[in-house]
Structure 1
């Protein structure tokens, strides 16, 4: 491989060379060059001046190699947190959010940009959730502690890619593998089980191309998820469900006996979920829309909330879908199949009801009706109790009954009758 030059259309022209452990190459793409703002150039100059190495780390490298401009860029360095603080203070650079300092992370703010920089480290003790770390200047050791090969690469600010565990090759082949032993990596942090699934959905071309030993390691360590906080599981699960191959990955979660530790119903309706995913995945459903297909009853939503502490909005959406997915369906009139949904919205007192109905249409795979609902503006019922008093209806109970009757008449007119037309029917009665 020494001195070999090749062209990859997604990455650009690269010069590749290798040592016994390390594959390096030179990256020059517009996505990479676009990262160099005044702020980053200032940070880079400061580290270089103080003779500390600074490289882009983790997911940002993966994205750049995939031809994407990363939304977030994390940096790694040979400087310790104390050395970084001394350096930033001397340069008059403000530091914010010191919560990550224990694990080596300092966040500096320059030219209205935040730069999160973490000291190279090794995990000296882990309990499956948290790690005690020790700082190092060895880039390979830091790469070795990371979860997946595609997340273990570094990119120098001159464009040099440092790849110790064949992450670039795996990315090119769309393979998702743990660094070293899958079992050992998982036991360092059991949440890596779900991160594996999430990145499989992002990277793999096809479902079902997992390495058998990886799946066996996941099965053997499934119970470790029980000790992971619901909030952390929910963050990963939502990303998994909105990625590629979500139906396959959720089915795999059941096959590997993970569901019981994640708040998902042990006897989830996997076939219904697969049907809903096939109908809805192109319509950008919310995570709860897909997951609710697993639920056989509303109590499943309550149990999910108890384990994962989902938001109130997510819980009410799940309850709404389970309650209405069978009864609220398209109308029989071929010219107005949206009618049952619009009438439901008119009658409803629920908050954000139109958006909930849109998610129901995604669940049901009603793409055409979804487009109609998205562009539909909820009309305002034109009559009030005050209007009825003007025409002689004064009893509170009677006002309620008359308003409901007028609302039904208005709905039958497809919301076209105005106030005078509706009030005229009261006078005639």
Structure 2
């Protein structure tokens, strides 16, 4: 068994070097000092590896992408992992102990460590598992071949299902049959489209599409939180536009998310400079796909239990949707008014959103206005209730109404109000 394993590793190392070159390797992972510490504590000198990198971090490292989450697979059971790491005062959290997963935190870096396992039953959302010491058995329970690539801390690759070859050739292949993998976890339907959009160099395998259509209603069994989380991962893809311009992908994604009907706006988004694109976060890109002047977004937010912050941002854009069509909106004085009545972030959202929805915005200096938002000093209303009291007003509704009236005049006059006008207005207490 060990000899067979060694041969697979050597063959894969050679293939990796030939196909990707030295710059497309796992060097990024190897150079994470906290990872080296964890590997040292979980491995034993002179013995076969007990822990390896796996999944997205290996795939991204090979592809030269930024790495966010780091997943490790180990033959050690969770209690043994915790024992070895706690002994060295490394914080370990039980994040999915029933599935063999703990999270180690070292110098603010998180490592999700999962014991090798084998599924014994599944309901399309969660699987019952038994722990294993067999690396190939662990690989066979994963979703796609490109996610079943393992690497040790020295960069030696273990690739029992030829995931590197599929990654190089742009083939998104389920491990085993698509029917089986999808029924184990219906969220894999969305994961398929994410990886297809990101990596595929060929058209859809029609057998996979048939399986997806056959089991698409299974997504109703998946929590909306998990679905929304996966949607967010799709939305931040650099080539998101291609998802909607592949007819098969578009038809199925729109079937799942019918509210995302404004995907044509991505054509304009794609033409923006890198500097401007970087100002759009995932929620603003979602707004491009979702929002108009109606309150239809409220159902989407309710269904996917979005945060109040997201709801507030969507409400701001929806309520100002018609205003974005007016040239007057883009005057500095009106942007300043918006900042005063709301905040700078709302102003930025509206300006960035307008670029992709208003064909006329190209004649407006949006980037200059964004710079203006950054330097704009928020005006402070110069009058107060005490000032009105000095002119004969008493605390109550009358004082409040007068103060509000004066503030509105001050705003409309570009945050300037003449003292004589104020005194004339206050001359008679009404």
TM-score range, shorter chain: 0.7 to 0.9
- Partner SS state of residue 33, structure 2: coil
Kindly state the Cα deviation for residue 290 of structure 1 after the two structures are TM-superposed: 3.4
User: Contact 2:30–2:36 at 8 Å: present in 1 too?
Assistant: no
- Partner SS state of residue 327, structure 2: coil
1:270: which partner in 2?
A: 262
Pair 94,332 (structure 1): closer, same or farther in 2 beyond 3 Å = closer
Are 1:78 and 2:72 counterparts? no
> Once superposed, what is the RMSD of the aligned Cα atoms?
3.7
Are 1:185 and 2:175 counterparts? no
Unaligned stretches of 5+ residues in structure 1: 15-26
2:5: which partner in 1?
A: none
User: Contact 1:126–1:188 at 8 Å: present in 2 too?
Assistant: yes
Aligned partner (choices 215, 227, 231) of residue 237 of structure 1: 231
Pair 258,117 (structure 1): closer, same or farther in 2 beyond 3 Å = same
Farther-moved stretch of structure 1 (221-230 vs 68-77): 68-77
The whole-number CA distance in structure 2 between the counterparts of 1:95 and 1:412 is 57
The whole-number CA distance in structure 2 between the counterparts of 1:357 and 1:110 is 39
Aligned partner (choices 84, 96, 102) of residue 100 of structure 1: 96
1:384: which partner in 2?
A: 384
Equivalences for 1:407-422 in 2 at 5 Å?
Answer: 407-415=407-415, 417=416, 422=418
Are 1:143 and 2:139 counterparts? yes
Kindly state the Cα deviation for residue 315 of structure 1 after the two structures are TM-superposed: 1.5
1:109-148: CA deviation from partner (whole Å, max 9, x where unpaired) = 6677654322211222111101111222222221122122
User: Contact 1:276–1:363 at 8 Å: present in 2 too?
Assistant: no
The whole-number CA distance in structure 2 between the counterparts of 1:319 and 1:115 is 37
Indicate the structure with greater helix content: 2
2:331: which partner in 1?
A: 337
Pair 164,372 (structure 1): closer, same or farther in 2 beyond 3 Å = farther
Kindly state the Cα deviation for residue 235 of structure 1 after the two structures are TM-superposed: 0.9
User: Contact 1:222–1:256 at 8 Å: present in 2 too?
Assistant: no
Are 1:64 and 2:74 counterparts? no
Are 1:314 and 2:304 counterparts? no
User: Contact 2:100–2:115 at 8 Å: present in 1 too?
Assistant: yes
Farther-moved stretch of structure 1 (388-397 vs 54-63): 388-397
User: Contact 1:219–1:256 at 8 Å: present in 2 too?
Assistant: no
User: Contact 2:244–2:263 at 8 Å: present in 1 too?
Assistant: no
User: Contact 2:144–2:173 at 8 Å: present in 1 too?
Assistant: yes
User: Contact 1:123–1:133 at 8 Å: present in 2 too?
Assistant: yes
Kindly state the Cα deviation for residue 97 of structure 1 after the two structures are TM-superposed: 2.0
Kindly state the Cα deviation for residue 225 of structure 1 after the two structures are TM-superposed: 0.9
User: Contact 2:61–2:67 at 8 Å: present in 1 too?
Assistant: yes
Equivalences for 1:7-406 in 2 at 5 Å?
Answer: 12=22, 27=25, 29=27, 31-37=28-34, 40-41=36-37, 43-49=39-45, 53-68=50-65, 70-84=67-81, 91=87, 96-108=92-104, 115-203=111-199, 209-249=203-243, 255-259=250-254, 261=256, 264-265=258-259, 269-270=261-262, 273-274=265-266, 277-278=269-270, 282-292=277-287, 293-295=289-291, 298-332=294-328, 337-348=331-342, 353-365=343-355, 367-368=366-367, 369-392=369-392, 399-400=399-400, 402-406=402-406
1:380-415: CA deviation from partner (whole Å, max 9, x where unpaired) = 222223223334555855545544454344335433
Query: TM-score normalized by structure 1?
Result: 0.78
The whole-number CA distance in structure 1 between the counterparts of 2:256 and 2:351 is 30
- Partner SS state of residue 43, structure 2: helix
Kindly state the Cα deviation for residue 72 of structure 1 after the two structures are TM-superposed: 3.0
The whole-number CA distance in structure 2 between the counterparts of 1:221 and 1:256 is 15
Unaligned stretches of 5+ residues in structure 2: 1-9, 356-360, 426-430
The whole-number CA distance in structure 1 between the counterparts of 2:271 and 2:393 is 50
The count of aligned residue pairs is: 399
Kindly state the Cα deviation for residue 69 of structure 1 after the two structures are TM-superposed: 5.8
Query: TM-score normalized by structure 2?
Result: 0.78
